[in-house]
Every structure is written in structure tokens, then in C-alpha cells.
Structure 1
Amino acid sequence: MPAQKIKIMKTIIIAAISSLLLINSPSFSQNAHFTTSGVIEYEKTVNMFALLKKQINKDNEAFYQPIYDQYIKNQPQFKKLKSTLTFSDNKTLFTPVPDENPSGNFFGNNVMVSQTNTIYTDLQTKTFIEQKNVFEEVFLVKDSTRKIRWKITGETREVAGFICRRANAIVLDSVYVVAFYSDQIPVSGGPESFTGLPGMILGLALPHENVTWFTTKITNLIVDGKAILPPKKGKLTNNQDLFKTLLNATKEWGTYKDAYLKAFSL
């Protein structure tokens, strides 16, 4: 066999072996295919020390400061909460996992610390149905999905083994949002009511609100879209009417109402 042919055959064999090694490597096997159906597990992390410190001002300092000082001595800085997002093609269902260690103290009743929403989203029609627990009442909110003007950046970050791209946005006029999405999951969904990117949001941060959601596990499995069903319990309303209801219920709360309105609107 001519030397030139032997050289070509060696090159082909080496290339084939390299391809097999690449395909069987952990990073390639996890990210080489596109996933349009499965279950994502999120962990919500709240910086309690930072969040609660914001509640103290010169008008209430004498009362709140001793309570806060005692809190940071006996409680962990970060509160952890779990949730899941079941998705199939253009339908998602965000479901909170019951808190195993609910906060029963004075400061632990902050709405931002709890998870009050079960959200079914139809990404094709850009509509959602949300079961929202507001104090002692349950609402069923039906409306269009939030229109978020995302600004996609060149920054990347690995989340749960997937390379994600960063996007920034402002919601509710003043809440700064940082999202990390992966186009390896070409479903425009995400935790809570955050959607609208060209891939699944696997990491989400509200830096000034001291809260994040990050994926801890992704299970790639076939989910029947017909099995993803919206919640049905609650008093029927829409976003605008719910906000009016909340505004009326908290009208005598002074500035304290602002944090509650923001938390329930996110």
C-alpha cells in the first residue's frame, strides 16, 4: 500500500477515535442534544440578613433593631426553597415544593421569602394561568405573559452543566433582573413568571431584591403536553384587577405596603 494512502487511513482512524471520545465525554453527552421536554428543579435562595435589614428605618429602628440583632445570631443567612418546572414543547408548569422548614418568627413572614405561585404558561399563545396565595385568600389569575425587554449580552456561565448566556432586563419599572438561559433547551420558559428568551432560563437573579433561582437538576424525559394542566382553584381575576385589590387592602399600611405589592407582583 502506498505511503500516502497509509497516511490518509491513519488520519481517518484518529479522527474517528477522537469523535467517539468526544461523544462519550460527560460535557458533550449532556449538552449535545436539544431538550424540549422534561423537569427542571430550581433552588430559590434569599439573603435574609440583607432583605430584613432593609425593613429597618429611623421610624422603627428602636423596635426592629433588637429583633434583627437577635435574628442574625440565631438564624441562617440564606433561606432555601425548592420548586419544579415541568415543560413540554410550548407549555410549562411552575410548582413550588412545600417548605420543610417554614419560618415561624416575626421576620420570617416576609412575602419575598415564601413561594405563593403555581403558574401554567402557554408560550405559544403567550398566556398564563396562575394560582396565587395572597394572605388568607387564593386567586386564579388569567392574563397575558409579561412582556420583558431582554438585553442579551456576550457573558456566559455554566448552570447545571449547561453553558448559558446572560440577559438583563428591568421589570415593574425598577426591578433589575439578570437571567442565564440555555438554547440547548429551546423552550422560552423559566421560573415563576419570567419568560421570553430564546431558551430556557436556568438561572435568575434579582440582585437588589436579594433573591436568586438556580437550577440544581434537569431530568430529560418525555412529558405528555396534555398532562401539563393549569391550576383551577381560586377567585378568578387578572393582573390589573388583582393589583387594585391588593392596593385597596393595603391602603392604610403606609410605606410598608410597597414591599408587599412588589413581592406579589413579581
Structure 2
Amino acid sequence: MRILFLGDVVGRTGRDAVAARLPDLRQALRIDLAIVNAENASHGFGLSPDMARALFDAGADVLTLGNHAWDRKEIIPFIADNPRLIRPLNYPPGTPGNGSVLVALPDGRKVLVLQAMGRLFMDPLDCPFRGTADVLTHYRLGTSVQAIVADFHAEASSEKMAYAHMFDGQISFVVGTHTHCPTADAQVLPGGTAFQSDAGMCGDYDSVIGMAKDGAGLRFWRKMPGEKLNPAEGEATVCGVFVETDDGTGKARRIAPLRQGGRLSQVMPELS
């Protein structure tokens, strides 16, 4: 199975870049499942229903959220009616939406997609490790599902790495989101789980993690609240990760980063 994950979409420039490039990427890489983190799509903070629909129309099969999940209140009724939009599973019981979704591909193969959020330097949610372990008790990799993908939305690389190693062999692909900077540690772990600490963002890298430099820089310079943050609006780089898995075992065969457009060095996975 060929899986494409695109990192945090930031603002209009990120949305436009994903809409323009995702259809061609799906075709060129013969993608079976495309997942997009969209929690910063709406002016950098949250996701609106119309933007969610546009990303689905562009070719996303599943959208994930994160710590900005509820910044746009109108997403609350939308997430209840759209199971392929998921939020972190370790939000407390009663939180709208779900932290995982089982996706049936047109050929009958099944993929579990889940999201958890870290707690180091983040909101003090329920334990993401225990929450993930509980979800995984309901599925058997390579038997009841052909693949399992986890978006771990976290600040600290150490927590992301610990999560990946704890579930090595139980999940096909663990990818980190939230920090917006693509890491260079794409690898298949010893137990067969593909891992990259952060997928990066789909946004303008002539910025401070996707936000216009002036407002973001003044926050550090003056240490005063209230400096307005707006998404940068230059050419975006579409950053993501490509993974190929074995349908029989659910384990990863290979992983490769993807970077297209904008300021960063360009990387396009090659098909084997």
C-alpha cells in the first residue's frame, strides 16, 4: 500500500499549494491513501468546514487536527458528521469527534488512521500512549487491517521518538506533526514501523513556522502579548512523507520524505 502524509497546512498559501499539487502527487506516486494535517488551515488557527471540504475535494482521504482543533467553533458540528476528520484521541471523554477512523479502500483493503497529541510542552491531556494502546487492542495489523497510520501531534522530538519505539511493529507508520519543520530522520524502525519525527508544513518557509516574520519576531523581541500573527503568503512548500507498506504484514517496506515547491530543497520519492 502506498500512503502519502502531508504536514500541517498553514493558511491560504498552504491550502492553495495542497489543492494544486495533491491530485498530481496521487497520480504520480499511485497513492492509495492520502492524509493531511489541517489544523492550521484557517488563517493559521483551526479549520473551517468549507476549507475541510476543499481539502477533501483536492484528494485528501483523511484530515487530522491537533491543539488548534477547536479554534473555529463551526468545526464542532462538522466533525460530528464527517468521520474522516479526526482529532487527537486523548482529548477527554465527551469531546466532539473521534480520534481514529477505519478507512475502507475501493479494493477492500482497510486502514486505521489515528491521531494522538503529546503532553510535553503541550496541553495536559489524557495519556497518548495508553490511549493509543487501547485503540490498538481492537485491530490486528496485517489481518483485520492492512495498515495503521498514527499522526503524533507533539512539540518534543523525544516524545515523538518514544511513541514510535513503543509501538514499533504495531503501527505501519508513525509521523510527527506540529513543529512545522521537516526532520531528516525518516527510517524504518527494527520492528517494521516507518517513522519521521516531523513531516514539516505545507506553507511559506520565508516565515516563522508559517507565520509572517514581523509579527512573530516581535513576540520574541518585546515579550509582550497581543502581537498579531498572520500567515505568510509567499510561495508554499508542500512537505510530507511517502510510505510503502506490505499488505500481508502491515509493516513498512520503505519511507521517503517529500518536498515540492517554495524555498526548501526539492525531494520527490521514487517508485520501486
TM-score after normalising by structure 2: 0.24
Greater share of strand: 1
Normalised by the length of structure 1, the TM-score is 0.24
Q: Which has the higher helix share?
A: 1
Bigger radius of gyration: 1
